[in-house]
């Protein structure tokens, strides 16, 4: 055990010495990786900060069933009970909105009060507002119910208020695909940068590696310092990326504060939680170590 610890301590010290031996090259590589990693961190900050607002948005769309003029309020209530019983798994609530209630609501709105004042009577029909339960295929389910309820005798027309759901689903799908492509691009940059760094180190110390093999050094002993070099590069670059992301959020939050104040609210971007950031650092270090191992294996065969 002590021998194993001594070997790893030696490999770590060699990696640190090689990292400091070429400060300009090491700093350039760390900045390249750090700037690349800062982009997904900022994107994750936006998603994490937007989650509390997203939770406040109602996820259940409403279907408004406008009833025929011949339908009485008792018929409307029976229809509401019928929809709740026949579609109990899909319908969360169904309430009747009389034409008088709808007119009072519109008259309370200054934008409509003047227009309604010139009308001789109440042009609004009775309506039935149906709220659906949340489900994985909410938009598709709402469309199917709307098509079925349009064929009811008491229903004149159906207004489906789920366009925003379809837009939200499309937007989230686009964001997921974009973040996936961004993650792949970041991984490629990390692998390529570390691969090239370790390649240059291996070629520079080619003769030293050859002598070490002649005196009995194992392949793991030769590779271990390069693996630590790659992992250290990834760790330092990740810490730099977190710092750059934190600095970038300051002007963004200042601009968001001015924008949010116009709407009487407060909103700011926050970095992901420390556990997520630590997990990201570990993943980057593993990717960098794997890239270093691949590079040193390819460039030290002689």
- Position 162 pLDDT exceeds 60: no
Q: How confident is the model at residue 212 (pLDDT cuts 50, 70, 90)?
A: low
Most confident of 45-59, 156-170, 284-298: 284-298
Is the domain of 110 the same as that of 188?
no
Task: Looking at the structure, tell me whether residues 29 and 154 fall in a common domain.
Answer: no
Same domain for 191 and 74: no
Measured CA to CA, the distance from residue 67 to residue 51 in angstroms comes to 38
76 plus 138 within the same structural domain:
yes
Mean pLDDT, residues 191-216 taken together:
67
Are 45 and 271 within 8 A, CB to CB?
yes
Domain with residue 127: its CATH number is: 3.30.70.3040
132, 145 Cβ separation under 8 angstroms: yes
Q: Dig out the tokens for 174 from the structure.
A: 């686009």
> Quick one: 263 and 120 in the same domain?
no
Distance separating alpha carbons of residues 225 and 218, to the nearest angstrom = 13
Task: Answer for the pair 230, 29: CB distance below 8 angstroms, yes or no.
Answer: no
pLDDT score at 25: 78
Kindly state whether residues 205 and 230 are assigned to the same domain: yes
Mean pLDDT of 182-200: 76
How many structural domains is the chain composed of? 2
Tokens of 238: 């990740």
Q: What is the mean pLDDT of residues 82-91?
A: 82
Residues of the chain with pLDDT > 90, as a percent, come to 3
The closest of 219, 178, 230, 183 to 16, measured between CA atoms, is 230
By C-alpha distance, which of 212, 281, 203 is closest to 11? 212
Domain boundary among 161, 184, 217: 161
Is 167 a member of any domain? no
Question: Between vectors from CA 167 to CA 182 and to CA 53, what angle results, nearest 5°?
Answer: 75
Do 180 and 148 lie in one domain? The reply is: no
The pLDDT, as a whole number, for residue 145 is 82
Of 129, 161, 193, the domain-final residue = 161
Q: Is the pLDDT of residue 296 over 70?
A: yes
Query: What does the pLDDT look like over 18-37, one tens digit per residue?
Result: 777 778 877 888 888 888 88
For the chain, what percent of residues have pLDDT higher than 70? 73
Range 91-120 average pLDDT: 72
Residue 96 belongs to domain spanning = 62-161
pLDDT for res 278 = 92
Q: Are residues 244 and 120 in the same domain?
A: no
Higher-scoring residue by pLDDT: 92, 211: 92
109 with 249, same domain: the answer is: no
Same domain as 67, residue 126:
yes
Cα separation of 260 and 254, whole Å?
10
* pLDDT value at 302 more than 50: no
Examine the fold and report which residue of 161, 191, 216 is the final residue of a domain before the chain moves on.
161
Instruction: Give yes or no: residues 42 and 101 share one domain.
Output: no
Q: Provide the pLDDT for residue 154.
A: 82
Residues 82 and 28 in one domain: no
Q: Is residue 128 part of a domain?
A: yes
53-62, 92-101, 271-280: lowest mean pLDDT where? Answer: 53-62
Does residue 166 fall inside a structural domain?
no
Average pLDDT value over all residues in the chain:
76
Q: Reply yes or no on whether the pLDDT at 173 is more than 80.
A: no
């Amino acid at each position: 055990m002590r021998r194993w610890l001594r070997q790893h301590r030696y490999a770590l010290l060699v990696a640190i010495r090689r990292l400091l031996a070429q400060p300009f090259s090491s700093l350039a590589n760390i900045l390249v990786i750090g700037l690349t990693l800062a982009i997904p961190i900022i994107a994750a900050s936006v998603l994490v900060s937007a989650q509390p607002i997203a939770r406040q948005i109602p996820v259940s769309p409403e279907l408004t069933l406008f009833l025929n003029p011949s339908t009485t309020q008792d018929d409307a209530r029976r229809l509401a009970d019928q929809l709740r019983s026949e579609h109990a798994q899909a319908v969360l609530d169904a309430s009747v909105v009389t034409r008088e209630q709808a007119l009072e609501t519109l008259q309370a709105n200054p934008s409509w009060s003047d227009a309604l004042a010139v009308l001789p009577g109440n042009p609004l029909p009775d309506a039935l507002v149906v709220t659906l339960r949340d489900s994985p295929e909410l938009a598709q389910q709402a469309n199917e119910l709307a098509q079925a309820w349009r064929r009811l005798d008491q229903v004149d027309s159906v207004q489906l208020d789920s366009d925003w759901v379809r837009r939200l689903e499309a937007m989230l799908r686009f964001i997921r695909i974009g973040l996936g492509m961004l993650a792949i691009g970041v991984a490629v940059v990390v692998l390529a940068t570390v691969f090239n760094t370790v390649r240059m180190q291996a070629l520079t110390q080619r003769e030293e590696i050859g002598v070490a093999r002649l005196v009995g050094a194992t392949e793991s002993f030769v590779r271990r310092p390069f693996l630590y070099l790659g992992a250290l590069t990834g760790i330092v670059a990740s810490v730099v990326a977190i710092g750059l992301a934190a600095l970038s959020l300051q002007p963004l939050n200042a601009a968001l504060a001015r924008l949010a104040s116009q709407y009487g609210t407060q909103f700011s971007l926050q970095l992901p939680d420390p556990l997520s950031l630590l997990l990201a650092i570990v993943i980057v270090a593993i990717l960098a170590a794997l890239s270093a191992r691949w590079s040193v294996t390819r460039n030290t065969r002689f």
